[in-house]
Structure 1
Amino acid sequence: MATDIKTTAHAVEATSIMKLLRTRPQLLALGEPTHGEETLLDVRNDLFRQLVEEEGYRTIAIESDCMAGLVVDDYVTSGTGALDDVMEHGFSHPDLGLGASAANRELVRWAGEFNDGRPASEQIRFAGFDGPLEITHAAGPRQALTSLHGYLSARVADADLLPCTAETLDHLLGDDDRWADPAAMMDPAQSVGQSAEAQQLRVLADDLVALLDAQSPHLIAATSRDDWDRARLYGRTATGLLRYHHWMADASPSRMARLVGLRDQMMAHNLLALAERGPTLVHAHNTHLQRDKSTMRMWDQPLLEWWSAGALVNSCLGEGEGYAFVATALGTLRHQGVDTPPPDTVEGLLHALPEDRYVIDAPRLAAALGDTPPAPRVSPWFGYAPLDPAHLARIDGLVFLKNVPGS
């Protein structure tokens, strides 16, 4: 068995991953089993550099706010802003330390340096593909909605085609603090998502997106494809946030399952738009990228089940040329109480191999393990999600790190 497993293992390099795939996918998804570990982000950075230099990849998308990500993209493509400010304002999820991460800072610095002096067609692009959502609250739709309205009002010749004025939007949006109230996450009655104003905003947002689509030939010619794509992002974000807030106000038992599903749906829509741009490396938690149904337990809720962004994108683009998924698994995370994995788990079998890190041919590993997969590993720490052995055959590759030291 050990010999069979070793034949599936290769060096952690972009070429090793690409050899596992039939062709270069538009979206190459690299998952991680936990957040906030610099070692995992360093591996991501190394693979992205290789994908840029050897495989023609030009976009990296991470699990961060899509609107905030525009700040980073402007910096790496045109040098807009100062690096310290970009790291502070260009990343979401402060509880995960995305903006404070040395690896994320190095990624942004390197991308800006790579782009210096290159034509736009050859530059690296940066994207957040998550919605403006945190575990404790959801942002209001003001920024996305007013940015979309501003783009259209400045360029659509017939003002009567606009469904409302900027003043109407401002009045309906009201106080931004109402939208981002953390109390609404736990108590649907505290949400403004099903108020009369919110219902009217959903209609107006839909009409603004419809106008953007209807005027696309004129708008692309009058501005640029990039500007129009950014306006589409505003539209997706506005409608997605208003839908999310609507269901935050729902008191049914399926409320949380619906919300986690809506979040991944927003992610999927952003990824499909990025796939139109060109080959993209996507980095996020394994549960957002896997093809199989995702599960999670939150607070005192029943087990939540939903289709991840990766599963949704895979169903649209197809496996191979469209979407590929490489998961990451690890042996130890001792600073979080995750010690040597039991030998009868997938992680335990891989931990017994001599080198510190590998790229594993996951389907071949699944075949080597036979019809009865090993027992799932159980993590003593909630922040780390072990690999589900039943998913191996639906993973294109597996990055395994034997030990992850504390950051």
Structure 2
Amino acid sequence: MATDTTDLTASLPALRAGRGVHSLDAAAVLRLLPGPRPRVLALGEPTHGEDALLDVRNALFRQLVEEEGYRTIAIESDCLRGRAVDAYVATGAGDLDEVLAEGISHGWGAYAGNRELVRWAREFNARAEDEGRPAAERLRFAGFDGPLEITHADSPRQALTALHTHLAAHLDADLLPCTAATLDALLGPDEPWTNPEAMRDPARSIGRHPEAIQLRLYADELTSLLDAHAPHLAAVSTPEEAETARLYARTAVGLLRYHHAMADTSPARMSRLCGIRDHMMADNLGALAARGPVLVHAQNAHLQREKSSMQMWQGRVEWWSAGALLSARLGDAYAFVATALGTIRHQGVDAPPPDTVEGLLYALRRSPVLLDPARLADALAGAAPAPRVSPWFGYAPLDPGRLSTIDGLVFVRDVERGTEVREGREGRGSGAG
């Protein structure tokens, strides 16, 4: 039951007196965390594509780079396509507009905040090159999502054939389970793999056809070879080649697993698909964290420690998020800072009701701010905040019952309409949903 407005309003002095409200900066974020500098620092967002939220991310990343030694940022984008952005950040080769369009999936390369992130990272690396700083001191960019959209999944062709090519270049042919020609024949044309009708109709998926099942076996064998011959492959490959081969292996296995689940006719189908996607995310982030601390930015639901849920066409689905999986693996080396917001008026999200946590924070009249969730919970002791209900499907409000499971809370008071940049022209844009 919702408390009355007076109860939450009365919590403001206690929140301020308890030093639960801070200016948002990297040092303040790290002071809130239970352990030393985390290997994965996750910054969530409650909606996609809003430049106000991307600006907060960019400012925090700059401070983490300049003051805390972070060198990698990962965003919720295709892990294979992201390699093009990483190459641009490293060398400056290519056209920035084309890199953003091709290297950031879901159309999010069009947002000014993402463009600014890539531009700044390239400028940082250019200065590092001029100063003769070692490669380890330069910035890296990564997508950590699978090659997936809500409408379809990619063919496993790119990942599987690239993995085979890497192994064929360094191992005896007799060790390989198949030839490149065999893989090509089993893969067939890409259109059946990417058929958008398969997302809603399992009968349209080819994920359980005999060819797909054989490809899963080959992907498993090729990945096993990558592991079994790691000492030799490390000696004959560059670290970058070895890292990329493992990315291809994870992606090939994950995509084939995803396509197999797309052909599932059981009620658990969509929960299984969401879980496979986040499992791929977690594995990619774990690999990135192995080379140094990483800031990851994605929807709160992909980064939280509890089970995530969503209402879809077949009903409610639940799955363990990438954040939940990483928290179980890394312990205090994983940290999650959620973001909540007040208004997105261009999407019909007006000022939050005063009996919600967002309503209480809106009354602070400061933005952006960083909240200590434990002190916020103490200030709310005895109150029962109502869960906020969004009139727009693309925004997920804060769950007041989960304050104890987050390490920090960023609050952005008002989100104005963002700016898209497409083919050199500016236009008005909104969240990607």
TM-score normalised per structure 2: 0.91
Maintained 8 Å contact 2:76/2:144? yes
> Deviation per CA, 1:261-295, whole angstroms, max 9, x where unpaired?
11111101111111101100000000000001111
Corresponding residue number in structure 2 for 1:147 = 162
SS across alignment from 1:297: strand
Q: Partners in 1 of 2:93 and 2:208 — Cα distance?
A: 38
Maintained 8 Å contact 2:365/2:413? no
Q: Which amino acid aligns with 2:54?
A: L
Corresponding residue number in structure 2 for 1:298 = 312
Corresponding residue number in structure 1 for 2:211 = 197
Corresponding residue number in structure 1 for 2:114 = 104
Q: Does 1:383 align with 2:394?
A: yes
Q: Partners in 1 of 2:263 and 2:91 — Cα distance?
A: 41
Q: Does 1:355 align with 2:366?
A: yes
> Deviation per CA, 1:283-310, whole angstroms, max 9, x where unpaired?
00000000011110012x2211111000
Q: Partners in 2 of 1:81 and 1:233 — Cα distance?
A: 23
Maintained 8 Å contact 1:363/1:394? no
Corresponding residue number in structure 2 for 1:273 = 287
Deviation at 1:371, TM superposition (A): 5.7
Q: Which amino acid aligns with 2:150?
A: I
SS across alignment from 1:375: coil
Corresponding residue number in structure 1 for 2:7 = none
Corresponding residue number in structure 1 for 2:405 = 394
Deviation at 1:220, TM superposition (A): 1.4
Q: Partners in 2 of 1:312 and 1:372 — Cα distance?
A: 32
Maintained 8 Å contact 2:12/2:379? no
Maintained 8 Å contact 1:31/1:289? yes
SS across alignment from 2:398: coil
Q: 2:192 aligns with which of 178, 181, 199?
A: 178
Q: Does 1:135 align with 2:147?
A: no
Maintained 8 Å contact 1:220/1:227? no
Deviation at 1:84, TM superposition (A): 1.6
Deviation at 1:78, TM superposition (A): 2.3
SS across alignment from 1:257: helix
Corresponding residue number in structure 2 for 1:14 = 26
Corresponding residue number in structure 2 for 1:374 = 385
Q: Partners in 2 of 1:4 and 1:206 — Cα distance?
A: 56
Q: Which amino acid aligns with 1:136?
A: T
Corresponding residue number in structure 1 for 2:270 = 256
SS across alignment from 2:80: coil
> Post-superposition, which runs of at least 4 consecutive aligned residues in structure 1 deviate over 6 A?
none
SS across alignment from 2:44: strand
Q: Which amino acid aligns with 1:267?
A: M
Deviation at 1:126, TM superposition (A): 0.5
Corresponding residue number in structure 2 for 1:247 = 261
Matches within 5 A, 1:212-361: 212-299=226-313, 301-318=314-331, 320=332, 322-361=333-372
SS across alignment from 2:338: strand
SS across alignment from 2:267: coil
Q: Which amino acid aligns with 2:23?
A: A
Deviation at 1:120, TM superposition (A): 1.3
> Deviation per CA, 1:5-36, whole angstroms, max 9, x where unpaired?
22211001111101111311000000000001
Deviation at 1:242, TM superposition (A): 0.1
Q: Partners in 1 of 2:164 and 2:209 — Cα distance?
A: 21
Q: Give the count of matched residue pairs.
A: 400
Corresponding residue number in structure 2 for 1:87 = 100
Deviation at 1:171, TM superposition (A): 0.4
Q: Which amino acid aligns with 2:44?
A: G
Maintained 8 Å contact 2:370/2:410? yes
Q: Partners in 1 of 2:384 and 2:300 — Cα distance?
A: 19
Deviation at 1:354, TM superposition (A): 2.9
Q: Partners in 2 of 1:151 and 1:337 — Cα distance?
A: 50
Q: Partners in 1 of 2:38 and 2:199 — Cα distance?
A: 37
SS across alignment from 1:154: helix
> Deviation per CA, 1:198-240, whole angstroms, max 9, x where unpaired?
0000000000000011111111121122211110000000000
Deviation at 1:372, TM superposition (A): 5.1
What do you get for the CA RMSD once the two structures are aligned?
Answer: 1.0
Q: Partners in 1 of 2:382 and 2:402 — Cα distance?
A: 13
- Please, which runs of 5 or more residues in structure 2 have no aligned partner? 1-10, 419-433
Instruction: Flag the 1:148–1:371 CA change in 2: closer, same or farther, 3 A.
Output: farther
SS across alignment from 1:92: coil
SS across alignment from 1:212: helix
Q: Which amino acid aligns with 1:226?
A: E
Q: Does 1:119 align with 2:139?
A: no
Instruction: Flag the 1:192–1:310 CA change in 2: closer, same or farther, 3 A.
Output: same
Q: Which amino acid aligns with 1:397?
A: G
> Deviation per CA, 1:31-69, whole angstroms, max 9, x where unpaired?
000001011001100100000000000000000000000
Q: Partners in 1 of 2:334 and 2:13 — Cα distance?
A: 30
Corresponding residue number in structure 2 for 1:210 = 224
Q: Which amino acid aligns with 1:311?
A: A
Deviation at 1:388, TM superposition (A): 0.2
Greater relative CO, 1 or 2 (CA 8 Å, sep 6+) = 2
Deviation at 1:159, TM superposition (A): 1.3
Q: Partners in 1 of 2:383 and 2:202 — Cα distance?
A: 44
> Deviation per CA, 1:123-175, whole angstroms, max 9, x where unpaired?
1111100000001000010000011111111111x211111111011000000
Q: Does 1:65 align with 2:52?
A: no
Q: 1:38 aligns with which of 51, 56, 77?
A: 51
Corresponding residue number in structure 2 for 1:28 = 41
Q: Which amino acid aligns with 2:30?
A: M
TM-score normalised per structure 1: 0.97
Matches within 5 A, 1:153-164: 153-156=168-171, 158-164=172-178
Q: Which amino acid aligns with 1:40?
A: L
SS across alignment from 1:35: coil
Q: Which amino acid aligns with 1:51?
A: L
Q: Does 1:53 align with 2:63?
A: no
